[in-house]
Amino acid sequence: MALSTRFTREFGVRHPVVCGGMTAVGTADLISAVANAGALGFLTALTQPTPEALAKEIARCRDHTDQPFGVNLTILPSIDPIPYDEYRDAALESGIKIIETAGRSPEPHMPAFARAGAKVIHKCVSVRHALKAQRLGVDAVSIDGFECAGHPGEDDIGGLVLIPAATAALSIPVVASGGIADGRGLAAALALGAEAVNMGTRFVATEEAPVHENVKRQIVANDERATNVVFRKFRNTARVAKNRISDEVIEIERRAESTFDDIADLVSGKRGRSEVLGQGRMNDGMWWAGQTQGLIHDIPSCAALIDRIVADAEEVISRRLADLVEPDTATG
C-alpha cells in the first residue's frame, strides 16, 4: 500500500511528508536526507548569508540527492534590509521548481515564480490568509495549528479545527502543520482532508539535523508541556522551548511597563543559533520547539523516520480504522 495524494502527484514526491524551512536547520545536510527518503524538504534561503551562498548550498544539496527539494523564502520585517528579490532569483536561476513562502504575502514575487514555472506553497496560520494565498495563485498552502513551533498567529486555533476548516474552504492542496510527529498524526491529517503533513520539531531530532546533539536529546527528554508562548504582548506570538531564557522573557512581558527592548538581547536569533543550536548550551538562548516534543522518543535517520511514519499511517488507515467498521447486519 502507498499513500498517494494530490500533493504527492502534483509535487512529484513519494510520500505526503514535508520538512518545511527552518532557520539554521534547513541546510543541505538535512534536506538532501529528507529528499532521498521520499519526502519534500526545503532549504532555508535566509540561513545562508548571501544569495550567492544560497546558490552554492543548492548545488551542495544536489550533490547528495537527485530527488525533488525546494527553497523556503520567509519574508519578514527586519532592521537591516534583506535582498529578498536576489535570494528569490538565486533559487530560480539554480533551477529550483518548488518554493515555500512564509511571513508576508508572496504577491510581489508571484510573477517571477510563474515565469520560472515554479510551484509555490505558502505557509498560513488562518483560513482567511489561506484563501487570499489561493486567490494569488499559489499551488498549495501549509496551514499552521496553534501547536506548532514558531509563529502560530493570534487566533489560537488548534489543528483539529483549523485543518478541516481550511480543507473545506480551499480547492488547492492543504498541508497540515503543527502537532504532527508520527504516523497517527499523518493518518489523522489525511482524515481531516489534508493532502500532506509538515513537520519541523520532529526533523530536528534526526541524525542528519545540523544542530548540537544536546538539542536532539533535549527534544526527546521534553514532554508536551515543555514549551512557552512568548511575544503575546507584542502581537507576534511565538512558541519556543521552555528554558531559563524563555521563562525570563515571559516574566518580563508580564510587567506593565516592559517593552521589546527589555527582551531584545535575550531573544536574539544569533544568540539562539550560536549558544543553543551550535554549542548545545540549552539554557543560554531561545530556540524553537513545538508541543510535538511529547511525541518524540528517539533520534532516527530521516529515512528510518519517514519509512516508519508512512508505515504506521498505512496501518492506522487500512487496519485499525477499518476494524472499527462493522458490517450492517440489519435485515430491514
Q: Does 114 lie in the same domain as 64?
A: yes
Residues 99 and 182 in one domain: yes
Residue 325 belongs to a domain: no
Q: How far apart are CA 54 and CA 42, in angstroms?
A: 12
Question: Would you say 316 and 183 are in contact if contact means Cβ atoms under 8 Å apart?
Answer: yes
3-state helix, strand, coil in the chain (%, to 5): 45, 15, 40
* Residues 257, 138 within the same domain: no
The verdict on 231 and 198 lying in the same domain is no
In a domain, 127, yes or no: yes
Cβ–Cβ < 8 Å for 73, 91: yes
322 in a structural domain: no
Q: Are 54 and 133 within one domain? A: yes
Residues 113 and 75 in one domain: yes
Cα of first residue to Cα of last residue in the chain, in angstroms, is 36
Q: Minimal CA–CA distance to 143: which of 135, 325, 161?
A: 161
pLDDT in tens, the chain (332 residues): 579 999 999 999 999 999 999 999 999 999 999 999 999 999 999 999 999 999 999 999 999 999 999 999 999 877 678 999 999 999 999 999 999 999 999 999 999 999 999 999 999 999 999 999 999 999 999 999 999 999 999 999 999 999 999 999 999 999 999 999 999 999 999 999 999 999 999 999 999 999 999 999 999 999 999 999 999 999 999 999 999 999 999 999 999 999 999 999 999 988 999 999 999 999 999 999 999 999 999 999 999 999 999 999 999 999 888 888 887 776 55
Same domain, 10 and 71: yes
Q: Is residue 183 part of a domain?
A: yes
215 occurs within a structural domain: no
CATH at 183: 3.20.20.70
Shared domain for 27 and 168, answered yes or no, is yes
Outline where the chain has alpha helix (H).
6-11, 28-36, 51-62, 84-93, 110-116, 127-136, 159-169, 183-191, 201-204, 213-221, 244-253, 269-271, 302-315, 321-323
Judge if 14 and 71 occupy the same domain: yes
Same domain, 56 and 181: yes
Q: Which residue segment(s) compose the domain that 122 sits in?
A: 6-209+302-317
Query: Do 293 and 201 touch, CB atoms closer than 8 A?
Result: yes
Within-domain flag for 126: yes
Residue 276 and residue 236 share a domain: yes
Domain assignment present for 294? no
Query: Is residue 259 domain-resident?
Result: yes
Count the domains in the chain.
Answer: 2
162 and 281 belong to one structural domain: no
C-alpha cell at 38: 521520499
